[in-house]
Structure 1
Amino acid sequence: MTATPTRPADAPPSAGPTPAARLATVLRLRELPVTIALIALVTVTYLANPLFLSSQGVKDLLLNSTIVIILAVGQALVIITRNVDLSVGSILGLVAFSTGTLFATVPGIPIVVVLLAGMALGALLGAINGLLVTVAKVPALVITLGTLYIYRGLNNAWAGGTQYFAGDRPDAFGALSVDTVAGFPLITLIALLVVAVVAIYMVGTRPGRDLYAIGSDPDAAKLFGIPVARRVFLAFLTNGVLAGIAGVLYASRFNSVGATTGTGLELDVVAAAVVGGVAIFGGSGTVVGAALGAILLTTITSALTALRVDKFWQQAIVGVLILAAIIIDRIAAVRTAKKLRLSEARDV
């Protein structure tokens, strides 16, 4: 008969983390600085211009950030694997114009079918990026810079001088950006659903956690049996799907789509992910942080406009935020490496 071990009578009961430990954990969250900056920005702007947080003002803030939130979530997946996708603006442009084309040429086509078509086109373009990066073994920066121009050229050749306007789409499709639920526009709720699903995938599934291992050390990830090429390809594929969703919603949000739709958007997306705490060197960060970064950047633009600050300073502030995020991340990485070396030295 096996005896069940018992705790000695004089042994202290096991206790959970102390309040100080919990506080330290919160302070280490990568999303904390961007959250504090966002709250401070909104507070200062509201004090200077109370209309900034009117019901219409809040709705405009949510609408302005929706597209960038979805794109930033996809970009975060790619950056965490130590890559980058510069073609997302061009993918969005192609999908947005194809959305306008479907509504104009196929009367009565269901919105769900259009959304699925946009996701399929985005998946195809993202898969091309993923295959070129994983098979050709060429840096993603170079590959996606090339596909940025290729996809943009395809859109220019297809669209030419054609533009599709709000009147070319069904009223129900345009209502996605007008109707609200509990004060949230419908397309913003779609964006929040995307954030929630991808966040759960990243922390709750083996493939999601593998992306962090790949970004931290690709060679070590291979030694541990992680299919690096397959996971990186999946990240680019998912990024393409999310860019497809963003392209369809863009066609609902804005009055017109054409050959130049999405031009330059990729820089805002990368900036949102980096400012939101996704390490540009890979291996750390969250999609929630990327979403917060997107909200912060769009809020900065709206806040400075409400305060009548020149557009040049808006761009300069965004640039300062990007540099600050990279420097802070680098300092944190150096400190972590130093602590690890000291710990190893004590163990020896």
Structure 2
Amino acid sequence: MTTTLPRPPAAPPADARSARSLVDAVFRAREISIAGALVLLLVGTWITNPRFLSDQGVKDLLLNASILVLLAVGQTVVVITRNIDLSVGSVVGLSAFACGTFVAGTDHGPLTVLLLGTAIGVLCGLVNGALVSFGKVPALVVTLGTLYIIQGIDYWWAQGRQISANEVPDAVLRLGSGSVLGIPYLPLLGVAVLAVTAYYLRSYRSGRELYAIGSSPQAARLAGVPIRRRVFGAYLFSGAVAGFAGALWLARFGTVVADNARGWELTVVSAVVVGGVAVVGGVGSVWGAALGALLLTTIGSVLVVLKVDAFWQGAITGALLLAAISVDRIVNLRVTRALTKRSARHGNGA
């Protein structure tokens, strides 16, 4: 009696591997170019105004970028699955106002605020994730709808009221203004979330499966990837990070109103795409998204230092977004053309 051993799974075709390597190399090159552009921007502005990179100037730059970096990290996890979350700005506003209302006039510490903000974000992410992954409603429609719903809830709750810094416990405000070894707490928290997320996406199977879903949902399904569960988890994470960022918003600014972070969702998407995360999913890293967020924040600060009209910040952000999407499209077309030629050559050789 002979025993037939199961055949090992076939390795990915050489063309697919080389195409993947080409795309990854291009997007890594974009991350390097963004870092170079950021350095040139900082040095050029410093030459014009040496106070820009003073100790306080660097701290302000890091503080201003921290919340946007966090939101970009959460958005990246969603975008690599070929989806999008437009509700993050509204979640930040709701979380900030809810946390401010909860701690106003009390002696609650920062841990309570962070946990409450994260819980609110998880709830919002749960709604988005359930509708997108299990309800099969397009992500753009779902998150655009929840954006307005959350904003409406926030306005209804606030009734024109605001939470002032003098109502917020000192311990919470110290989280937003304090530092360790000269480095503010907020950037340290942002880097911690960034590093943990990057490690998860790179080292865990479930993290790599998110890339597989974005690269080819059909292939991921055939490979046994639980697509619905992974997409649902991505939205939970994005919501949790946005809620966490809302709590940090309260700690950073002290005074919160109903429309905090209004319009930030487009800035977050811009940071992610500019940072090399492909809008078609499957390619990019949280490090690149963080660089994109830092670049956009730095541009805003530079325009203020140079006394340039704030209108140009939006114009520059839009131009960078269009350029990044154009690069994505060009790369995809070139890879597709290269694969077609190689397939034709191999077919003729056979």
Tell me which amino acid in the other structure corresponds to 2:161: T
Partner of 2:107: 108
Compared CA separation, residues 25 and 268, structure 1 to 2 (3 A): closer
Partner of 2:340: 341
Compared CA separation, residues 136 and 25, structure 1 to 2 (3 A): closer
Partner of 1:311: 310
Say whether residues 1:325 and 2:324 are aligned partners.
yes
8 Å Cα contact 1:278/1:285 also seen in 2 = yes
SS at match of 2:29: coil
SS at match of 1:318: helix
CA deviation profile, 1:158-203 (whole Å, cap 9, x unmatched): 1112211111112121112222223321011000100000000110
Say whether residues 1:233 and 2:237 are aligned partners.
no
8 Å Cα contact 1:93/1:262 also seen in 2 = yes
Query: Matches of residues 30-69 of structure 1 in structure 2 within 5 Å?
Result: 30-69=30-69
Distance 2:56 2:93 in 1: 27
Distance 2:108 2:46 in 1: 43
Distance 2:46 2:283 in 1: 33
Distance 1:328 1:283 in 2: 15
| 1:26 Cα offset (Å) | 9.0
Distance 1:305 1:294 in 2: 17
Structure 2: tracts of 5 or more residues without a match: 1-23
SS at match of 2:104: helix
Distance 2:27 2:72 in 1: 23
Distance 2:33 2:328 in 1: 12
Compared CA separation, residues 218 and 195, structure 1 to 2 (3 A): same
| 1:141 Cα offset (Å) | 0.5
| 1:98 Cα offset (Å) | 1.0
Distance 2:181 2:346 in 1: 55
Distance 2:205 2:293 in 1: 27
Query: Matches of residues 148-159 of structure 1 in structure 2 within 5 Å?
Result: 148-159=147-158
Partner of 1:130: 129
Distance 1:25 1:244 in 2: 33
Distance 2:27 2:156 in 1: 50
Partner of 2:72: 72
Query: Matches of residues 82-231 of structure 1 in structure 2 within 5 Å?
Result: 82-104=82-104, 107-231=106-230
8 Å Cα contact 1:30/1:285 also seen in 2 = no
Distance 1:347 1:46 in 2: 55
CA deviation profile, 1:277-308 (whole Å, cap 9, x unmatched): 11111111101111111000000000111111
Compared CA separation, residues 69 and 338, structure 1 to 2 (3 A): same
| 1:332 Cα offset (Å) | 1.4
Question: Percent same amino acid among aligned pairs?
Answer: 53
Compared CA separation, residues 296 and 55, structure 1 to 2 (3 A): same
Structure 1: tracts of 5 or more residues without a match: 1-23
Distance 1:25 1:88 in 2: 30
Tell me which amino acid in the other structure corresponds to 1:42: L
The alignment's TM-score, normalised by the length of structure 1, stands at 0.90
SS at match of 2:52: helix
Partner of 2:14: none
Partner of 1:18: none
Compared CA separation, residues 25 and 267, structure 1 to 2 (3 A): closer
Distance 1:261 1:302 in 2: 19
SS at match of 2:143: helix
SS at match of 1:334: helix
Distance 1:261 1:28 in 2: 33
Distance 2:107 2:138 in 1: 43
CA deviation profile, 1:239-279 (whole Å, cap 9, x unmatched): 00000110000000113112111211111111111111111
How many residue pairs align between the two structures?
Answer: 325
| 1:74 Cα offset (Å) | 0.3
Partner of 1:20: none
8 Å Cα contact 1:94/1:155 also seen in 2 = yes
Distance 2:29 2:315 in 1: 26
SS at match of 2:85: coil
SS at match of 2:225: coil
